Amino acid sequence: MVIQSKQNRKIKQIRKLFSHKGRETEKCFVFEGKKLFEEALKSAVPLVGILVARRFMDTNRHQLDAISSEIPVEVVEDHIYDQLSRQKHPEGILCIAKYFDAQIDLKRSQHLLLLDELADPGNLGTIIRTADGVGFDGIICSDQTVDFYNDKVIRATMGSFFHIPIYKTDRFEAFIQKLKQNNFFVCATSLNGNLSQESPMPHHSKNALILGNESHGVRPQIEAICDFSWKLPIYGKAESLNVAVAAGIMMYLTVIGDKK
């Protein structure tokens, strides 16, 4: 049965999952594209449904048949898929997955990234991709950080969303104290911090890097409990760097200290 109407119950449910409120109600999220679908299959993320455009089914029947005993696959007319899609050039596959509990083992982790009220979905997605790229062990978000289940975030990670554990805590300060008790060196980034071209974090130590909001940076009460406040030197006329670029440079400098 190919879904013919945009009033179909499934279509309406998916439309709700594009909003934060809808996700919080259903404890489910959605993402699109073949690459993310394949990365999700390789991960432990619990897929609960797949919606494909008729054209996608026609060209990927074999792959979809192989999983359809475990995950319900529904087919929809192309034009209805394209209306629903948030992709610029809809590929024709959308996955529905359940919220999951990421585990970050503090005993085994060496490099953690903490995000304090980061607001932009594209920045968050790019930062997740970079944290995966440089081999960080996990990401922890404060509760006012943009929802990482937002489809724009997942898209910008280019699959890294399924590679690196990420979770949100409403006890961000307590979590930092716990890190310190577990021998992590905790470093805030700050435009008022100590200038250093290199990562101030001791090599081969356990450490956590905190980045903040695009406008306001890390909150003062968070910066106050950190071991160090770090500012990258700016040599030109820009007032600051984009937060995802700053995160990339700082994570990279931290990791190469250990790889030398």
- Using CB under 8 A as the criterion, which residues of the chain lie in contact with its own copies when the complex forms? 122, 126, 129-136, 156, 158-160, 163-164, 197, 232-242, 244-249, 252, 255-256, 259-260
**One-letter amino acid identity for 134?**
V
* Distance separating alpha carbons of residues 106 and 99, to the nearest angstrom: 22
Q: Which is nearer to its own copies, 102 or 246 (CB)?
A: 246
Contact 115, 209 (CB under 8 A): no
Shortest spacing between CB 160 and its own copies, in angstroms: 5
Shortest spacing between CB 199 and its own copies, in angstroms: 12
Q: Rounded to 5 degrees, what are φ and ψ at 49?
A: -175, 155
Shortest spacing between CB 162 and its own copies, in angstroms: 9
Shortest spacing between CB 64 and its own copies, in angstroms: 24
Q: Which is nearer to its own copies, 44 or 236 (CB)?
A: 236
* Residue matched to tokens 């179909």: 8
Longest dimension (CA), the chain: 63
Contact 189, 250 (CB under 8 A): yes
Q: Which is nearer to its own copies, 187 or 232 (CB)?
A: 232
Shortest spacing between CB 96 and its own copies, in angstroms: 24
| Three-state secondary-structure class, residue 12 | helix
Q: Which is nearer to its own copies, 142 or 160 (CB)?
A: 160
Q: Which is nearer to its own copies, 52 or 206 (CB)?
A: 206
Between the two ends of the chain, the Cα-to-Cα distance in Å is 58
Beta strand pairing call for 228-231 and 206-212: unpaired
Q: Which is nearer to its own copies, 1 or 238 (CB)?
A: 238
CA proximity to 136, closest of 231, 40, 208? 208
Shortest spacing between CB 244 and its own copies, in angstroms: 6
